[in-house]
Structure 1
């Protein structure tokens, strides 16, 4: 499906005029980047007429890379090819120096492979701006072979059941999917999510690039260690899969501690409403809880946190002169249903 839709988007016009015989043929630029290319370090224009005026004075050399990236080494006898590679990346608006600092494999990846990857992805209807953003989020894309990217598109369509019209949105949201192995990462993660009862994984595709052993299981184990059964912990993740993405130290621990110590509420509420962990502790949970304590009120978690600020304030005013059902009262649940957000 994906490979059939790919078409060549590279221009046939050379980047340098033919009289610069001392340099080997220069890389071409995908047509989708036309008009968006910025001058290379404001010294080398990308338009052909300007190139014909005179030979550019500034060329990237291994010395510059050595200065910017002292820990990186340049392959021997590859100065000209390396210059061409950096010129090509800069010509499509990518800061090659930053990429090399963060992803050294770019140094040894051939220009041909980089061009093939750029050509294939841009042929899949990704704009130049989208492609640059994707590379900024995941530099490994540039050093991933097309033969490894195609199976990802196929997997998303055939096994995760992502509609063709949604694949672009899925990749834009999580570019790292393109550099993940289908057999070693994507498929095992899909099977795990399905095994805990998450049926519509196509709505949570950003989780597919995560490691089950390194990311998912430690969070499940955390909830077990603080008093939840494996069944209840699994139920929480099934109801709110994004819970897998939250840091244990910076999110789960402080919010759970505040919930138990300061709020003194029942753990069953977290099982029913695990979205509690998605709200800001300082900007939403603490302020609203303190206001309720001051006024002697106790709202169900969804009402306490999901309600918009203006509506929440109006509810406080309504309840200030009326009695609120106790949590032990049958009306507590009725109140939860009555106050829809």
Structure 2
């Protein structure tokens, strides 16, 4: 016999429906499972469902905006711009040189800046560093830690000098230890350049693209390999000068206009560090006008006042000009030694 469940048509909804056990018969498993659904006794009967339990969290629909979704890209960009502006960094200007900054998360940017702060770099330092190497803002701390470790342990930079080293050559932080810094260190050591901790700016240079071509050029213009290496040991910054814009015009002037011997360049490779138009040419002309021949070191290293004074000494001396200049240089060197503690 089919049992019918009669639902009351009352309008007062119960908080939880109460079905008495004698109103429902569950068929045993051995019987055929023919389920009979109850029929309503009246068309006016209504079913009132209990309210949802407050303990079940609301699951937002796809069309609605969840309350805890990450910030949208525009909001993240604005926060990033305000944060960088607070330490004096203009994000918009950096985007022109390194567009990937726009996709860097604010959390990653903060972590990089906080890490660099922790190693002693100040806000003015960071403004300069990011201006020169904006890609550092999108780097990872895991890439920076090996660089600092290398500088301290292998290049023997003192911890108190890290800030100076990074400020002088921010590009060090963008270099791979395995592919650039360590091979360059080994090359410099192999040709006899010591105290690398004082020449750390060279570590970011490529041996194949920067060092070897300059060694080849000096050999091509007449120096032996031994003399070439001696010049680089004497003045390592020589590795950083442009062949076309520095070496070639200055060497041509040295040979054609000044008529000097290669031996002078070997003894004073710092010649290439002086401006051709502002120092070398004017000083050489003054020497020619006075009929004086000064060594490269005497002619170029002194300031304008002392240079003029030396010219006068040579002109008024009975000694040959080059001997007078040499005596002047020795006198200056001995005076410097006496002043040292």
Normalising by structure 1, we get a TM-score of 0.73
The answer to whether the Cα contact below 8 Å between 2:313 and 2:324 also exists between their aligned partners in 1 is no
In structure 2, relative to structure 1, the CA distance for the partners of 1:246 and 1:180 (3 Å cut) is same
Quote how far apart the aligned CAs of 1:110 are: 2.6
In the alignment, the residues of structure 2 paired with residue 326 and residue 266 of structure 1 have an alpha-carbon distance, to the nearest angstrom, of 17
In structure 2, relative to structure 1, the CA distance for the partners of 1:227 and 1:336 (3 Å cut) is farther
The answer to whether the Cα contact below 8 Å between 1:285 and 1:305 also exists between their aligned partners in 2 is yes
Aligned to 1:12: none
Structure with higher Rg: it is 2
List aligned pairs for 1:261-276, cutoff 5 A: 261-276=256-271
Q: Does 1:251 align with 2:246?
A: yes
In the alignment, the residues of structure 2 paired with residue 108 and residue 215 of structure 1 have an alpha-carbon distance, to the nearest angstrom, of 33
Aligned to 1:322: 317
Aligned to 1:232: 227
Q: Does 1:177 align with 2:169?
A: no
Aligned to 1:210: 205
In the alignment, the residues of structure 1 paired with residue 319 and residue 254 of structure 2 have an alpha-carbon distance, to the nearest angstrom, of 21
Aligned to 2:91: 96
In structure 2, relative to structure 1, the CA distance for the partners of 1:188 and 1:180 (3 Å cut) is same
Aligned to 1:86: 81
Deviations 1:232-276 (A, max 9, x none): 111111110111111111111111110000000000110110000
2:288 corresponds to which of 293, 297, 309: 293
In the alignment, the residues of structure 1 paired with residue 140 and residue 259 of structure 2 have an alpha-carbon distance, to the nearest angstrom, of 54
* SS of residue matched to 1:94: coil
The answer to whether the Cα contact below 8 Å between 2:187 and 2:207 also exists between their aligned partners in 1 is yes
In structure 2, relative to structure 1, the CA distance for the partners of 1:188 and 1:333 (3 Å cut) is farther
The answer to whether the Cα contact below 8 Å between 2:314 and 2:320 also exists between their aligned partners in 1 is no
Aligned to 1:137: 132
Q: Does 1:242 align with 2:240?
A: no
Q: Does 1:340 align with 2:332?
A: yes
Quote how far apart the aligned CAs of 1:334 are: 5.2
The answer to whether the Cα contact below 8 Å between 1:288 and 1:304 also exists between their aligned partners in 2 is yes
The answer to whether the Cα contact below 8 Å between 2:310 and 2:328 also exists between their aligned partners in 1 is no
Deviations 1:34-80 (A, max 9, x none): xxxxxxxxxxxxxxxxxxxxxxxxxxxxxxxxxxxxxxxxxxx7333
In structure 2, relative to structure 1, the CA distance for the partners of 1:129 and 1:337 (3 Å cut) is closer
In the alignment, the residues of structure 1 paired with residue 120 and residue 158 of structure 2 have an alpha-carbon distance, to the nearest angstrom, of 15
In structure 2, relative to structure 1, the CA distance for the partners of 1:201 and 1:163 (3 Å cut) is same
Quote how far apart the aligned CAs of 1:191 are: 0.8
Quote how far apart the aligned CAs of 1:86 are: 3.0
The answer to whether the Cα contact below 8 Å between 1:240 and 1:274 also exists between their aligned partners in 2 is yes
Quote how far apart the aligned CAs of 1:174 are: 1.1
* SS of residue matched to 1:320: helix
The answer to whether the Cα contact below 8 Å between 1:215 and 1:244 also exists between their aligned partners in 2 is yes
In the alignment, the residues of structure 2 paired with residue 309 and residue 262 of structure 1 have an alpha-carbon distance, to the nearest angstrom, of 21
List aligned pairs for 1:160-171, cutoff 5 A: 160-171=155-166
Gaps of 5+ in 1: 1-20, 27-76
In the alignment, the residues of structure 2 paired with residue 340 and residue 183 of structure 1 have an alpha-carbon distance, to the nearest angstrom, of 46
In the alignment, the residues of structure 2 paired with residue 90 and residue 24 of structure 1 have an alpha-carbon distance, to the nearest angstrom, of 26
In the alignment, the residues of structure 1 paired with residue 214 and residue 74 of structure 2 have an alpha-carbon distance, to the nearest angstrom, of 48
In the alignment, the residues of structure 2 paired with residue 22 and residue 167 of structure 1 have an alpha-carbon distance, to the nearest angstrom, of 45
Normalising by structure 2, we get a TM-score of 0.73
Q: Does 1:115 align with 2:110?
A: yes
